[in-house]
């Protein structure tokens, strides 16, 4: 691993909640090793207010956050990504742009908190649960010994992290 931070792009369809949360979490837990980015295939008109609230609760900065198209990161002038993670099932199934630099990719599906209906409390709980699931995965990702792992081993571990919290018994602990 070089002295330069690794660029990590999180993708979701709307880029209004999960990918935004992940962008800020990778910077928090990456201890300067990562620069976080997020984008969507069909970005919303803004960041979901509950995503902003959860980030505020966690003491993470929200200034400048916006929903962006993934096309912004597929241009020659865009930062070259080292990792690209999809965090929603819709984005994982879409045909993604060709990313310059051939980054390592994985699917880290997280239930969509923005789709939860019910009371204000139920919707807030869904956003907090998505935040915790992403935080758990990102802490594990950030703790990987990148310099010591061969590409195949790193790829396997990154993909395994995406399954953490996905089963019923692991999900209840999140």
Please tell me the total count of domains within the chain.
Answer: 1
Residue 172 lies in a domain: no
> Could you confirm whether 88 is annotated as catalytic?
yes
Phi, psi of 67 (to 5 degrees): -80, 130
Q: What is the pLDDT along the chain (174 residues), one digit of tens a residue?
A: 567 899 999 999 899 999 999 999 999 999 899 999 999 988 988 999 999 999 999 999 999 999 999 989 888 888 999 999 999 866 555 566 667 677 898 999 999 999 999 999 999 999 999 999 999 999 999 999 988 889 889 999 999 999 887 753 344 333
- Domain membership of residue 133 as a residue range: 6-163
Residue 155 lies in a domain: yes
> Could you confirm whether 56 is annotated as catalytic?
no
Residue 174 lies in a domain: no
Q: List the catalytic residue out of 8, 9, 11, 12.
A: 12
Q: List the catalytic residue out of 87, 88, 91, 142.
A: 88
Residue 50 lies in a domain: yes
> Could you confirm whether 96 is annotated as catalytic?
yes
Q: State how far the Cα of 51 lies from the Cα of 19, in Å rounded to an integer.
A: 10
Residue 171 lies in a domain: no
- Tell me the CATH number at 100: 3.40.50.2300
Q: List the catalytic residue out of 6, 58, 60, 96.
A: 96
Q: State how far the Cα of 16 lies from the Cα of 112, in Å rounded to an integer.
A: 10
The SS3 call for residue 9 is: strand
Query: The tokens of 151 are what?
Result: 């590409």
Q: State how far the Cα of 120 lies from the Cα of 76, in Å rounded to an integer.
A: 43
Nearest-CA neighbor of 38 among 19, 65, 52?
A: 19
Q: Note the pTM of the prediction, 2 decimals.
A: 0.89
Question: Could you please report the per-residue DSSP string of 89-153?
Answer: HHHHHS-PPPPTT--EEEE-----GGG--S-HHHHHHHHHHHHHHHHHHHHHHHTS-GGGS-HHH
């Amino acid at each position: 691993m070089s002295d330069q931070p690794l660029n990590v792009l999180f993708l979701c369809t709307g880029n209004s909640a999960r990918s935004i949360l992940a962008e800020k979490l990778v910077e928090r837990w990456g201890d300067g090793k990562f620069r976080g980015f997020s984008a969507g295939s069909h970005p919303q008109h803004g960041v979901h207010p509950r995503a902003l609230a959860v980030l505020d609760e966690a003491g993470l900065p929200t200034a400048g956050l916006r929903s962006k198209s993934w096309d912004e990161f597929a241009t020659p002038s865009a930062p070259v990504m080292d990792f690209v993670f999809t965090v929603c099932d819709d984005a994982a199934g879409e045909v993604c742009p060709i990313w310059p630099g051939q980054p390592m990719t994985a699917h880290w599906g997280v239930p969509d908190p923005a789709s939860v209906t019910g009371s204000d409390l139920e919707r807030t709980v869904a956003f907090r649960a998505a935040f915790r699931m992403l935080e758990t995965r990102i802490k594990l990702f950030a703790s990987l010994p990148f310099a010591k792992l061969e590409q195949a081993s790193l790829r396997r571990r990154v993909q395994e992290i995406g399954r953490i919290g996905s089963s019923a018994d692991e999900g209840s602990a999140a």
